[in-house]
Amino acid sequence: MTDTPEAPIAAPEPTPTDPAPATVAAKPVKKEDWRDTLKFLLKLAVVVFIFRSFLFSPFSIPSQSMLPRLYIGDYLFISKWNYGYSRHSLPWSLPLIPGRIFPGTPARGDVVVFKSPTGSGEDVIKRVIGLPGDTIQMRGGQLILNGQAIPKVPVADFVIPLSPNYRDPRPNDDGCPQQFRDPAQTICRYKQFRETLPAADGRPAVSYNVLDRGQQPGADDTDLYSVPAGHIFVMGDNRDDSGDSRFPVPEGMGYVPLETVEGKAVITFWSTDGSAQWLLPWTWFTAARWSRMGQTF
């Protein structure tokens, strides 16, 4: 018997295996860079500061002293460049501007915002009546400017609906006294007149409406005022309910230094009758006085 050599057993071929997945390094979670956020907020604050200080600033009407032109609840923009700049042009009257730069003088009839002379830091809005060197007096409710009686022509009564922004008398603000309300207690009605300041220095005459509640000795008959240099004489259009230059501080404003004038009223951008409620968003629209928005000065 012949031994037949057995064929060599072939070694099993290696079984291919899937390649091991490549190890991906975990990216670290990027944390918010608080420094970038702080830089953005600082830049935003600088832009707002410059805009409000040198271009336009919002202002809201807190009282009825400028009726019929301005209602409580009106919001408007004032332009800041018309009369130059002072520290009162800046938020909180920061003492960064010495004196006045690029100074200008308002025109008679301008509606201006200025810092209250009482030292309260509040902003006040009134109409410019007298400029440096002018003389002003009230006689029997008629304005006398530089010895000349300013025309005061009766027009239709001024009527304003009673609302949360204009209803009951409040401290330092009479609201709508009972004698001026209609029987249904829905409106307030005042006698209204049209005044016209004369043209001057190439500027046209300026007309506006004023209200009259009847004879008020302290407001309708005054001494003769002479406006000193560097000051203006201001009055509210609601002549019998305005603490203005006819009265000394703190009852009124006295002569207003030009340095404290912040800007000129430009346009009303919002107005509300005060009936809106924060938690009822639809009342924001029903309370809006749409016809007053967009009115210019």
Rounded to whole angstroms, what are the CA distances from 119 to 138, 234, 249? Answer: 27, 18, 10
For tokens 């190890």, what's the residue? 23
Number of H helices and E strands in the chain, helices first, is: 3, 14
Res. 183: pLDDT tops 90: no
In this prediction, residue 260 has a pLDDT band, given cuts at 50, 70 and 90, of: very high
Residue 209: CB partners within 8 Å, gap ≥ 6? 68, 69, 155, 158, 192, 193, 194, 195, 237
Q: The tokens of 14 are what?
A: 């290696």
Q: What is the mean pLDDT of residues 48-66?
A: 93
**pLDDT tens digits, one per residue of 4-17:** 445 555 555 555 55
With CA atoms as reference, report the closest residue to 181 among 210, 164, 160: 160
Q: Averaged over 139-151, what is the pLDDT?
A: 95
pLDDT of residue 11: 52
Chain segment 135-144, per-residue pLDDT in tens: 999 999 999 9
Please report which residue ranges of 30-152 form alpha helices under DSSP H: 34-54
**pLDDT for residue 296:** 95
Model-level pTM? 0.83
Say whether 258 sits in a helix, a strand or coil: helix
